[in-house]
Chains A and B, each alone.
Chain A
């Protein structure tokens, strides 16, 4: 039996495993994917200072560090149940049952689907699938694609596709419906895009983002938004074009689109079909917390963190004894925040296990998470800090600390 079982070998899980192992605990990490690294594996982007963030290198570094610290990593293993037992947790996996007194859930996030008519045609995929095929499996997803859904994640991945030589013809919005929420509303999309405009390479967009800080300028910006869109890295982003349907007889052959009003209504007589052999649908991310739910952990609904997240305190402890969380399961943020949270969770586990001699390390790690969060280039949501405060408050009420 191991001292600690970690579910998820992404940035959070591996960082936690390293911290635990360095304090003398025996640690096993399981992950559903056939190799470790989690969503780091797909990441490739340029930081504002010009340096490149290569997720594959980061994943290799963490994997190496974990293994040399003695961590056992089991890839290609799915967890389908967790049960609380007398002094710990029983975890059922496709490689058998594991038992450990301490369990860390670092299961990350899942993509939110955005149904578009025709989305069941072959050649239609989520933007995350396109990212994995391109950057991990090195498979060309198609010759000419359209991205439906404009958000921070999809702009970053469209850029990755382009770097790999895959043509992204344009990025447009999903149809406005009961299941697309704000994603089909140009004004709402414009507001969220402006939060990342400082990453845009074009000085013009940077200038535009300064101009559009006031609400009425945003409205004007959307109503005057050019039909061809603005380009980021030569990919046209067309906020005033909406997808009506993905078309094709046996596979994707194109997307039927129309011009849309600033609030997302289709403008009659503007329909056309854009040829494409693949379509990426981007609906954003939500915390993947199913194991926390079956473990019996209480939840909080916090939209700024991506939806329902397991309640946890600032030391990443849930109200259930021996159950910890770290990374995107606690709210959607960058991989760097996930790493900092993982290191903190690892120290917290070591402390609970009674092997952490220097308790001040935990306070340092808590500050480090906050520091990385404040420094993050990409804020997935402007209200992350207040969302975190809500969780802390609920943890205090729930855990009586």
Chain B
């Protein structure tokens, strides 16, 4: 297996190659990387790949991590059913 075809975001099936190429081409923030590739936007809410996206940005753009959490959190922070959200 080509290590470049390594899946980083399992929910949205985004590969390391996709992420590295996007980060290099756009020299972007973690948020832009997320929006361009959908990595971290799947059903788990980025619980597995969030820190990996942060690392990719640090490595490819040289941006130093700031005190602000790079990728924001939005509720619900757990997958929940529509019933729980107030449906019937």
Contacts and interface: CB of A to CB of B under 8 A. Distances in A.
A400 B43 CA distance: 40
Interface residues of A, number: 37
Interface in B30-88: 47-49, 51-52, 55-56, 59-60, 65-69, 72-78, 80, 84
Contact of B73 (A119, A294, A300): A294
Given A80-B78, A113-B51, A115-B7, A308 B16 contact: no
Residue with the highest number of chain A CB atoms closer than 10 Å, among B60, B66, B73: B73
A160 to B, nearest CB: 23
A293 B73 contact: yes
B48 to A, nearest CB: 5
The SS class assigned to the B binding surface is loop
A81 B56 CA distance: 29
Contacts of A245: 1, 3
Given A78-B78, A300-B67, A177 B3 contact: yes
B8 A81 contact: no
Given A115-B7, A117-B3, A179 B69 contact: no
Nearest to B72: A293
Contacts of B56: 178-179
Contacts of B7: 115, 119-120
Contact of B78 (A79, A119, A307): A79
The SS class assigned to the A binding surface is mixed
A92 B65 CA distance: 31
A138 to B, nearest CB: 26
A255 B60 CA distance: 28
A9 B20 CA distance: 39
Contacts of A177: 3, 6, 16
Nearest to A310: B69
B59 A178 contact: yes
Contacts of B78: 32, 78-80, 94
A175 interface: yes
A33 interface: no
Contacts of B52: 113, 115, 179
A116 B3 CA distance: 8
B8 A179 contact: yes
A81 B76 contact: yes
Given A178-B55, A299-B68, A81 B1 contact: no
Contacts of A298: 67
A290 B78 CA distance: 10
A181 interface: yes
B67 A301 contact: yes
A320 to B, nearest CB: 15
A282 B69 CA distance: 23
Nearest to B64: A301
A178 B7 CA distance: 13
A343 B72 CA distance: 31
Interface in A4-56: 32
A110 interface: yes
Contacts of B59: 178
A352 interface: no
Interface of B: 1-3, 5-8, 10, 16, 20, 47-49, 51-52, 55-56, 59-60, 65-69, 72-78, 80, 84
Shortest Cβ-Cβ A-B pairs, 7 listed: A80-B76, A81-B75, A293-B73, A80-B78, A117-B1, A178-B59, A78-B78
9 contacts: A78-B80, A80-B80, A177-B6, A290-B77, A294-B74, A294-B77, A299-B68, A301-B66, A308-B69
